[in-house]
Amino acid sequence: MFDKSAAFYDVDGTLVRINIVHAYAFYAAREPSLLQSARKTAATAAAVPLLWAADKISRKWFNELFYKYYEGASEDRLVTLAEDLFDEVIKPNIYPRARDLIEESRRAGCRQVLISGALDFTLRPLARYLEVDDFIANRLEFYEGYATGKLMKPFVGGATKSDIMRAYAREQDLDLDQSWAYSDSFSDFPMLAVVGRPTAVNPDLRLRALARSYDWPILDLAS
């Protein structure tokens, strides 16, 4: 039985060392033909500076720009390769103490929820491995079995995470004032601020400074 509290975890940089660009690179390197694979891999590498700049300006803009690279991808292929993606890329990059953090929170009676800008089919194997209760992720739009390069609503990332968490809390009868949130990124400040017990995990410089000013706990899951 859960009480009315939950623990919400950002994923990229918080529980795992990698991010959504690594996931796309995995898919790009496994295109049906070597030429397609080489083209997509090169395009991804060339786009990194633009994506980096977009992420600094707006997480929403970054995600909308980034997921255009999935346009034309087969839904069946993406879902099938997600298990290999987890085994080969995600699982080896889970922070050593990530499972300990989740286990401790579970013992405290909190509902365990991942909330990530990653795609749902890439997050599902991780959620299963970590034995969390639920996950919230972005979803690609598909038409006749192929990705359009657009995301379905609601967009998950940045400031929208707090709105999604409020809606989720209402649906699940949870008390956000008694809940926890964990993130590594300053862009997730709204997600952290919406709960009563925010925690900075492997924080970037801006989030570390913010956490210190608010006297929030700071955790390092790499050690």
**CATH number, domain containing residue 92:** 3.40.50.1000
pLDDT band at 34 (very low <50, low <70, confident <90, very high): very low
Least confident of 17-31, 150-164, 166-180: 17-31
How many structural domains is the chain composed of?
1
Asked whether residue 153 is assigned to any structural domain, the reply reads yes
- Cα 181 from Cα 179, distance rounded (Å): 7
- Cα 60 from Cα 89, distance rounded (Å): 25
pLDDT band at 58 (very low <50, low <70, confident <90, very high): low
Asked whether residue 1 is assigned to any structural domain, the reply reads no
C-alpha dihedral (120, 123, 127, 133), degrees to nearest 10: -30
Closest CA to 179 of 103, 108, 99, 95: 108
Q: What percent of the chain has pLDDT over 70?
A: 84
User: Is 57's pLDDT higher than 90?
Assistant: no
Q: What is residue 1's predicted lDDT score, i.e. its pLDDT?
A: 46
Q: What is residue 22's predicted lDDT score, i.e. its pLDDT?
A: 87
Asked whether residue 166 is assigned to any structural domain, the reply reads yes
List the domain range (segments joined by +) for residue 155: 6-219
- Cα 204 from Cα 207, distance rounded (Å): 5
